[in-house]
Chains A and B, each alone.
Chain A
Amino acid sequence: MFKHFFNLEWKSFFRSSSFATNLVFKILTIFAVLYFIVVFLSLGIGAYFIIEKAGLGDPLRVVNRFMIYYIVMDLYTRYMLQKMPVTNIRPLLYLPIKKDAVVRYSLGKTALSFFNWSHAFFFIPFSIVLLTKDYAPMQVIGWHLGIMALFFVNNFLNILVNNQDRVFYPLLVILAVLGISQYYGWFDITVYTAPIFDAFYDIPWTAVIPWGLLAFVLWASFRYFRSHMYLDAGLALKKQEGKTEDYAWLNRFGNLGTFLKNDIKLIRRNKRSRTTVIVSFLFLFYGLIFFSGTYDSYPIVFVFAGIFVSGGFLFTFGQYVPSWDSSYYPLMMSQNIQYREYLSSKWYLIIIATVVSTLLAVFYLYFGWKTYLAVLVGAVYNIGVNSYLVLWGGAYVKTPIDLTTNKKAFGDKQAFNGKTLLLTIPKLVLPLVLFWIGDFFFNETAGYLMVALAGVLGFAFKDLAFKQIEKVYKKEKYKTLSAYREKAA
């Protein structure tokens, strides 16, 4: 039986319509995986010595202390990224295969996920280092096995809580609050959780408990799936209640308003675009890395950060125009629509988001007016130059977007598209060069002025820029249409 399943899996991989074109992407994914493996490995080997050197105490105890965050983060990443095993089950229902076998296979498949075995690259070397440092072997093994079981527990927990946003997001908030409380020393959850992980080491046989837990969640998910294997239960596609909304206040913008209305609905009603907006919100805090003092003597870094802080939406949403409309692109192309209006609405959306981000970023004033100035300058450049560049680059991005899933929300093969890659140079490098010129010949202020000036100039030549972008879109129209027709596999 498993031979058949394996065979199907194999074919679905090699025969997927995007296989050939995705080969480059697959190779790059492998590199990314290798990268993480190396990072995990070096952390696994190095963690002991780093902690010891920093004088934080017994490395094992320190790791145990933060284990709760590690495990919760793991669950979080899984929730966001790990695919559910239900895909491809539907066609199997009609075939003479025992349902139990299908469920076992689907669940078993998830156990092989990268999200499970990647942790081994940290914990195996770490445990080996512990052994070489004369920790009691049986106890280390007990601890190791106990922790490993917990990751597999996460694997099945994720399956059970999947799509339960109501449970998930409150949990996330609680965790954030706990993290902050710990940082400021109000309340330390690790005091209560560390002993649990310590126990796996101190009393090795307690490692049986997580294995018991694993057996339980495995049984629970088996039961859950088995009883939901009906088209109108677990395999049903989730339906949202539709609401007709008007946004009449946008009517005054004419045709532009029509598109804006649509774009707002697009963002609000689709999982993928909502995630994008959340990610773009996180960009706001990207500057904290650069503005908090370390780089004070390198103002050029400020410019870089300024562009990211105000341009979160621009980069995350803008670079996928027109792919957001991929599922109904033929409609857009045969309706009474001028490219100019279509592009304008996306452009306005990007501009509005950039302005809002800049206003929200006002808290950077805390680090001094100069810091906020960098954000402002970045915003001007984003509005005047980068807004065109993302739209222009978008014309070459021909990856259809499936709005209803989060799959690929974080990075896509298009990121490695030569032309789009080339376009990041003016997006990020040019402002740095401009700043450097101003700073080198005059002073810092002149550097900022140079960048802002480029933005203002770009803004002034809006019509010209739009004409060029329109041309590119027209030229790429047929290729784009045919690429969108092949659904993302």
Chain B
Amino acid sequence: MITATELTKKYGTQTVLDLPGLEIPKGESFGLVGNNGAGKTTFFSLLLDLIQPSTGGIHNNGIEVQHSEAWKPFTAAFIDESFLIGYLTPEEYFYFIGELRGQSRSDVDALMESFEDFFHGEILNQKKYLRDLSKGNQKKVGITATFIGNPEVIILDEPFANLDPTTQIRLKGIIKELTQNREVTALISSHDLVHVTEVCERIVVLDKGAIVKDIQTSPETLRELETFFAG
């Protein structure tokens, strides 16, 4: 589904990302771990064509993201609050995204209903604009919006950060359910090793822009990762 070839990103003389070859097959739940500055967000930004690679490129479902915009209809992402429109209410934001993705109002309403648990009564009908919601609730809105319109690729940068424990557990459930039938490719970055090992079947560790570990998740993975980061 997603292939990065000879992909590098340099700022001046500093290489922030260097991926000679990375292949993410369709339907995989892919976890990206690494300390600050490891290149996780850089990779996602390159994948979304928000920054230009220094060399190489990324193909998303056979489409080179730099040269065509045809990947947009089946890709959804939430990176940070710059993916939210502050002066809209959550409902309006969902409908806006829905309209862009060819979903009717009732489609969106139906989807939102299934997220009632996740919202915990703090999102819908709150008479608040997104800019006035708390960080955690903003995040819930952003994450939920990526599920609108049945995208094939979902990219979530640090989805667990800022969420309360209940919501974290619910989000894990949602992601597991989503990737279960192997229709959706999910790319998730996280600082939380427990969460990411729980929801991702494959985990790649980045360090200073390079892949240092690429493991299929097994019961030992968590310990392996902990030993790695402790060192």
Which of B19-27, B46-54, B190-198, B200-208 is near enough to bind chain A?
B46-54
Chain A interface size range: 20 to 34
The answer to the question of A132 belonging to the interface, with a C-beta cut-off of 8 Å to chain B, is no
Residues of chain A contacted by B73 (CB below 8 angstroms):
336
Q: How far is the CA of A404 from the CA of B131 in the complex (A)?
A: 10
Interface of A is mostly: helix
Q: Which of B72, B82, B84, B127 contacts A335 (CB 8 A)?
A: B72
The answer to the question of A414 belonging to the interface, with a C-beta cut-off of 8 Å to chain B, is no
Q: Mark A313-336, 1 if CB is under 8 A from B, else 0.
A: 000000000000001111101111
A337 pairs with B86, CB closer than 8 A: no
Task: Name B69's closest neighbour in chain A (CB-CB).
Answer: A338
Q: How far is the CA of A228 from the CA of B213 in the complex (A)?
A: 53
A334 pairs with B84, CB closer than 8 A: no
The answer to the question of B137 belonging to the interface, with a C-beta cut-off of 8 Å to chain A, is no
**How many chain B residues touch A (Cβ–Cβ < 8 Å)?**
34
A265 pairs with B87, CB closer than 8 A: yes
B83 pairs with A328, CB closer than 8 A: yes
B128 pairs with A242, CB closer than 8 A: yes
Interface of B is mostly: loop
Query: How many Å from the CB of A385 to the closest CB on chain B?
Result: 29
Residues of chain B contacted by A261 (CB below 8 angstroms):
96
Most buried by A among B50, B72, B80, B101: B50
The answer to the question of A98 belonging to the interface, with a C-beta cut-off of 8 Å to chain B, is no
Query: How many Å from the CB of A240 to the closest CB on chain B?
Result: 6
Chain B positions 20-46 with a Cβ under 8 Å from a chain A Cβ: none
Residues of chain A contacted by B84 (CB below 8 angstroms):
328, 331
Q: How far is the CA of A73 from the CA of B81 in the complex (A)?
A: 40
Most buried by A among B87, B88, B128: B87
Chain B positions 57-108 with a Cβ under 8 Å from a chain A Cβ: 69, 72-73, 75, 77, 79-80, 82-89, 91-92, 96-97, 99-101
Q: How far is the CA of A255 from the CA of B72 in the complex (A)?
A: 15
The answer to the question of B129 belonging to the interface, with a C-beta cut-off of 8 Å to chain A, is yes
Query: How many Å from the CB of A327 to the closest CB on chain B?
Result: 6
The answer to the question of B113 belonging to the interface, with a C-beta cut-off of 8 Å to chain A, is no
Task: Name A334's closest neighbour in chain B (CB-CB).
Answer: B48
Q: How far is the CA of A243 from the CA of B87 in the complex (A)?
A: 10
Task: Name A485's closest neighbour in chain B (CB-CB).
Answer: B82
Task: Name B72's closest neighbour in chain A (CB-CB).
Answer: A336
The answer to the question of B180 belonging to the interface, with a C-beta cut-off of 8 Å to chain A, is no
Q: Which of A244, A327, A329, A334 contacts B89 (CB 8 A)?
A: A244
B49 pairs with A333, CB closer than 8 A: yes
B128 pairs with A239, CB closer than 8 A: yes
A242 pairs with B127, CB closer than 8 A: yes
Residues of chain B contacted by A237 (CB below 8 angstroms):
132
Query: How many Å from the CB of B47 to the closest CB on chain A?
Result: 9
Task: Name B97's closest neighbour in chain A (CB-CB).
Answer: A335
- Rank and list the top 6 A-B pairs by shortest CB-CB distance, nearest first: A269-B87, A331-B83, A258-B99, A242-B129, A334-B48, A242-B89
Question: Can you list 19 A-B contacts (CB < 8 A)?
Answer: A242-B89, A242-B126, A242-B128, A242-B129, A244-B92, A255-B100, A265-B87, A327-B82, A328-B86, A330-B80, A331-B82, A331-B85, A333-B50, A334-B72, A337-B100, A404-B131, A478-B50, A482-B51, A485-B82
Instruction: State the A residues within 8 Å of B (CB).
Output: 237, 239-245, 255, 258, 261-262, 265-266, 269-270, 327-331, 333-338, 403-404, 478, 481-482, 484-485
Extra 8 A-B pairs, beta carbons < 8 Å, given A330-B79, A331-B84, A403-B87: A241-B127, A258-B100, A266-B87, A328-B83, A331-B85, A335-B72, A478-B50, A482-B51
